[in-house]
Amino acid sequence: MMEGKVVVVTGAGRGIGAAIARLAAEHGAKVVVNDIGVALDGAGGDATPAQEVVDAIKKSGGDAVANTDSVAGFASAGKIIQCAMDTFGRLDGVVNNAGILRDVIFHKMSEGDWDAVVNVMLKGTFNCSRHAADHFRKQESGAFVHMTSTSGLIGAMGQANYGAAKLGIVALSKCIAVDMGRFNVRSNCIAPVAWTRMTASIPPKDPAAARRIEQRKQVTAEHNAPLAVFLLSDAAKEVNAQVFSTRKNEIFLMSQSRPLRSVHRADGWTPERCAGHMLPALKSAFYSPTERTADVFSWDSI
């Protein structure tokens, strides 16, 4: 399904990114495996993970090249995209997967915790997408797949930075789809679920969460790759501006913001009328402020 195409996968040295890179290569794509090999908080750097994925792809008969530039800087992200052009002569798809964690309860979150996560994930997604957009526009084709999260779509504890970045990616994807649809460029999101070193680093918040860990370990990174590769392929030419979620053998089409209910007064509104009329009229449609991913996806995935 990817024969003759060139794709960039960021954060592809491990986990979901590595699984997508390997499967894309199995389907014929030439792959730029980007990973700077950092710890979960963004510290350090090691070229080994990216190279190991490249070696595995080549051993299986595919073609790939390692890249260790950072998505967080605009210029360095440009080098990732240019790596595809220099090595393979074209670019057909970008998977924005790179991410870090700085989980902290909101009232203790520092500016550094916020900036580090937003710069890698939200700004990093913009950086890589913006550089790729130049090539996509000229050739009048291309596909973006951005990794979002139910932490942003629904909510999570201790992840205000992560959730804000991930929901921002959804808005970015939709606006890319609107702006670049005229050039046959598609932009979609996936909220993946997998037991990776990132999810393994998050301590269970309650006994119920702890009990689900063993079940969660069966949801491997590889379960997310088929949808991503499909969205990169020409078979998905009619799929644009959508948000999906994957959980082992389940694929969900997620909702996007639309009006739920409305209330109207011909004589206009005052604060008192909001309290006496608007609140009781709309309250039954309110979302719970304490609702988190596990409350919405409350059943086992096996």
* Catalytic sites, residue numbers: 162
Residue type, 217: K
Spatial CB neighbours of 225, under 8 Å, sequence gap ≥ 6: 16, 19, 20, 22, 23, 24
Q: What are 67's strand-pairing partners? A: 34
Q: What would the two tokens of residue 246 be?
A: 């994957």
Give the integer Cα–Cα distance in Å for 155 and 139: 38
Q: Are 5 and 93 in contact (CB under 8 A)?
A: yes
Q: Name the strands in the sheet holding 250-253, side by side, starting at the edge strand that comes first in the sequence.
A: 63-67, 30-34, 6-9, 93-96, 142-147, 185-191, 243-247, 250-253
Residues 170, 255: contact at Cβ < 8 Å? no
Residues 6+ apart with CB under 8 A from 70: 36, 76, 77, 124
